[in-house]
Structure 1
Amino acid sequence: SLEDATALGSIHLHAARPPGINSPTEAAMLGTQRILELVGNCDQRDCVICLLSGGGSALLVAPAPGITLVDKQAVARQVAAAGGNIEQLNAVRRPLSRVKGGGLARACRAGRLLTLILSDVLGDALDTIASGPTMVTPPTGKTAASTQENASHALSVLNELDLSNSPSLAGVVRVLQQQTQVPTHSTPCQHNPPMRVDHVILGNNADAVDAAGVKAVELGYRYVMQSSRRVEGDVLQVARSAADAIEQLASQDQINCWISGGEPTVTLPPQGAGRGGRNQQLALAVLEEMQLRKPQAISSHDVVFLSGGTDGEDGPTDAAGAIVDATVIARTAELHLDPNDYLERADAYSFFEKVDGLLCTGPTGTNVCDIRVALCRAKQG
């Protein structure tokens, strides 16, 4: 209680998932149930502090009636494989959960709920970060969605991604269809007396890009930067934009560093994917784009391109991303490797493993999307 700090007791750390496994687990379900019990036993004298960051959707797991853990795992896996972005994934997750979409706040009986956030969502939409477990009121300009509306939106997303007829999602589709038939009611939190709810963004992708810019200046680079404020498109589209930026660097001598933040999507091949993640796939796509263009400006310059996840994890691999430089390009030619072949198989990890281009940092403990850096200087001699 606020009146008795000694009543807080000790802090218990609950390992809900192994590192690198961004998927719902049985342990996460048990941990979520414990969290719901804790906040439900609070009273008006209590202040609950909720720490949210990337991966929160997989850590807070409380399936809605009719939904199983296997269903939730299938949703995460198939939406990602279909190239769905985080907004689409969380739109499907929300109606399938008792804790997402404000569910944690609705269960809380404290006098105040303070949420401190490390945002892994471009634009910092509070209803999207970790699927908005403490977001009891809609963002400005929106109205509170009903159960029917949430379910209908989820069904439309599955249809957009061509997943409505997926056999492994049959149970999910059935539950969503049932939810569209329930009596309409909005889902804001109703507390008597009212609970004060606050959200504070502690860090986001723009902060990471700014920090990279500060480091670039320390190292003597002259940079230009950009941080996407909305969901990016397919990784190949982002690669073309990155290649454009590299060409612009090489065409002048004032700016020699480009820093970008974002998070592209990757559509996995139907025949099954190799190893990799979106950052490795992006770096490989940039290499392929540069080789296809072969612009004179770039051929006369030394170029380095890096793409990495700020959490140190890129897909189900031990790499944070990948680097393209003169050594990688030379090794590619020496080994007669075809970047496009690895791109089509979504097997970027295997490619960069062969050319020694993997970026391995280990888990950083902070996820604020991805950082991309390009360096360019005229060749000497």
Structure 2
Amino acid sequence: MSETPSITERALQIWHAGVKAVDSEALVRNAIQVTDNELTICGHSIPIHDQKKLLVVGAGKAGSGMAAGVEAAVKGSLLEKQLLGWVNVPADCVRPLERIHLHAARPASLNEPTAKGVFGSKQILQQISSLSPDDICLVLISGGGSALLPAPLPPVTLEDKQAVTRLLMSSGASIQELNCVRKQISEVKGGRLAEAATCGTLIALVISDVVGDPLEFIASGPTVADTSTPDEAAEILKRLVKDPQQVPATVWEVLENNRKPSSELKKSYQTRVINQIIGSNATALAAAKQTALELGYEIYSMGSENEGIAAEIGVELAEVCLEFYAGRGPIMRPACVLSGGEPIVDLSSTQNPGKGGRNQEVVLAAMQRLWNEEISNVCILSGGTDGEDGPTDAAGGILDTTILQQAYTLQLDPDAFLKEHNSYPCLAACNGLLKTGATQTNVMDLRVALVQ
């Protein structure tokens, strides 16, 4: 007779079901249908013939799986021999494919633009600008694409762009604020990749990692007309960076020289540009809910658009669990609380921030809130669906009664670790890290809390 799964095993099962639902290869494969005469992508049909080239380019943490999905979808068709491509991905996502080259544009767990990323972006620009009007371009976009598709607008250098990215991230910039600045100093972001294309039809398949799924913010919208302005980017930098002189002079120069908002993709000829979202946090949340229902839980969903401060999200999750544990919640036990979105960690609150990520900080804050509570049969799990949480090898963290007891035994002080944003060593010491490796998808974070 098999043993009954523990509460933590059930939480993991629910979380993994959510991640599986946004498997990048399956999402792309299901979006593409090919017949002898026609290519259909998300309902958009394009006639095909022997001479038509299908170029696949893109960038993102889900790029490897997405590219594999394209190859699987066209295998055995007329288009298979016409397929070629280049996609920038993290180093740990590189694998051999038959027709599409996967380029290691940055090391694993380093979410910053690199020289290899710039090289890959230039290759993509060269290929996309060498197409004929009869050709088709398929752009694969997913979370992490901003850092994986760097093409600084001269005279901005890679080092300048890295410095600005670090400044904004350490100042608690939202993804929207970060992308606004990135777009204004890039040759590809803010629709400029689509502007460079010389094909007749360009279709972007997008896996969203941004709250609300706004196309222009996902990977900084390389195929979407930019609605932000250089003035807005300058305002963000002035507001978030305490010392404006820390911002490279070249960045201020580009923002000053390009104070002309772009309301549409400027092309000298007609190219049909189609952007299609094929997966999002809501997709993962729905699958997690279905699995939780099958396991016998009542569901309390906090939705897929939760932002704010990571530590506050953790406290809120713990408070909800305490309410359900006491029988005061809107649903009865056994209860499953689901939450999606992407909070931030404001590192400016300490001069020497430690090691961790937003999901680990969520769990550490929940640990602090539950530290003196008499509670059992509760599990709180928070994980990045991409398998990465900050500059660490963990996807996030887990808290259950055993982990909490281990923290007690080791006399860990969650408050002290929280003040230094040092969640990783604390959770590592009490076996509270969630490690999955790269999942090759990315739809922000998924949180699962169970109360038996």
TM-score by length of 2: 0.75
Matched, 1:310 2:382: no
Matched, 1:82 2:171: yes
1:12 is paired with a residue of what secondary structure?
strand
Aligned mates of 1:90, 1:163 — CA distance in 2: 19
1:14 is paired with a residue of what secondary structure?
strand
Aligned mates of 1:164, 1:210 — CA distance in 2: 44
Aligned mates of 2:251, 2:375 — CA distance in 1: 55
Are 2:350 and 2:419, in contact at CA under 8 Å, matched by a contact in 1?
Answer: no
How many positions carry a matched residue from both structures? Answer: 358
Unaligned runs of 5+ in 2: 1-46, 51-78, 85-98
Question: What is the deviation of 1:185?
Answer: 5.5
Unaligned runs of 5+ in 1: 139-143
Instruction: Tell me which residue corresponds to 2:130.
Output: 41
Distance 1:210 1:185, change over 3 A: closer
Are 2:200 and 2:271, in contact at CA under 8 Å, matched by a contact in 1?
Answer: yes
Aligned mates of 1:163, 1:39 — CA distance in 2: 39
Matched, 1:3 2:53: no
Instruction: Tell me which residue corresponds to 1:226.
Output: 302
Question: What is the deviation of 1:187?
Answer: 4.9
Matched, 1:322 2:401: no
Are 2:338 and 2:447, in contact at CA under 8 Å, matched by a contact in 1?
Answer: yes
Which residue among 8, 12, 19 is the counterpart of 2:108?
19
Instruction: Tell me which residue corresponds to 1:372.
Output: 447
Question: What is the deviation of 1:306?
Answer: 0.7
Aligned mates of 2:333, 2:442 — CA distance in 1: 32
Instruction: Tell me which residue corresponds to 2:237.
Output: 158
Instruction: Tell me which residue corresponds to 2:429.
Output: 354
Question: What is the deviation of 1:73?
Answer: 1.1
Which residue among 262, 279, 285 is the counterpart of 1:209?
285
Are 1:3 and 1:45, in contact at CA under 8 Å, matched by a contact in 2?
Answer: no
Instruction: Tell me which residue corresponds to 1:141.
Output: none
Question: What is the deviation of 1:254?
Answer: 4.4
Question: What is the deviation of 1:75?
Answer: 1.8
Are 1:209 and 1:226, in contact at CA under 8 Å, matched by a contact in 2?
Answer: no
Cα deviations by residue, 1:149-194 (Å, 9 ceiling, x for unpaired): x2111111112213452525444234323434xxx46352233442
Cα deviations by residue, 1:99-139 (Å, 9 ceiling, x for unpaired): 10000010011111100011100100000000000003x6x
Distance 1:300 1:273, change over 3 A: closer
Identity of aligned residues (%): 42
Aligned mates of 1:308, 1:352 — CA distance in 2: 13
TM-score by length of 1: 0.89
Question: Match for 1:110: what amino acid?
Answer: C
Question: What is the deviation of 1:363?
Answer: 0.8
Are 1:2 and 1:47, in contact at CA under 8 Å, matched by a contact in 2?
Answer: no
1:249 is paired with a residue of what secondary structure?
helix
Matched, 1:69 2:158: yes
How does 1:213-362 map onto structure 2 within 5 Å? 213-229=289-305, 232-252=307-327, 253-254=332-333, 256-268=335-347, 269-291=349-371, 294=373, 299-362=374-437
Aligned mates of 1:226, 1:300 — CA distance in 2: 22
Instruction: Tell me which residue corresponds to 2:192.
Output: 103
Question: What is the deviation of 1:226?
Answer: 2.6
Question: Match for 1:209: what amino acid?
Answer: L
Aligned mates of 1:339, 1:270 — CA distance in 2: 16
Are 1:118 and 1:201, in contact at CA under 8 Å, matched by a contact in 2?
Answer: yes
Aligned mates of 1:274, 1:114 — CA distance in 2: 42
Instruction: Tell me which moved more, 96-105 or 184-193.
Output: 184-193
Aligned mates of 1:245, 1:331 — CA distance in 2: 23
Aligned mates of 1:289, 1:177 — CA distance in 2: 47
Instruction: Tell me which moved more, 244-253 or 53-62.
Output: 244-253
Question: Match for 1:249: what amino acid?
Answer: F
Aligned mates of 1:187, 1:66 — CA distance in 2: 24
1:319 is paired with a residue of what secondary structure?
coil
Which residue among 197, 216, 229 is the counterpart of 1:127?
216
Are 1:40 and 1:107, in contact at CA under 8 Å, matched by a contact in 2?
Answer: yes
Aligned alpha-carbon RMSD (Å): 1.9
2:383 is paired with a residue of what secondary structure?
strand
1:314 is paired with a residue of what secondary structure?
coil
Are 1:112 and 1:195, in contact at CA under 8 Å, matched by a contact in 2?
Answer: yes
Cα deviations by residue, 1:24-73 (Å, 9 ceiling, x for unpaired): 11111111111111111112111100000011101111111210101111
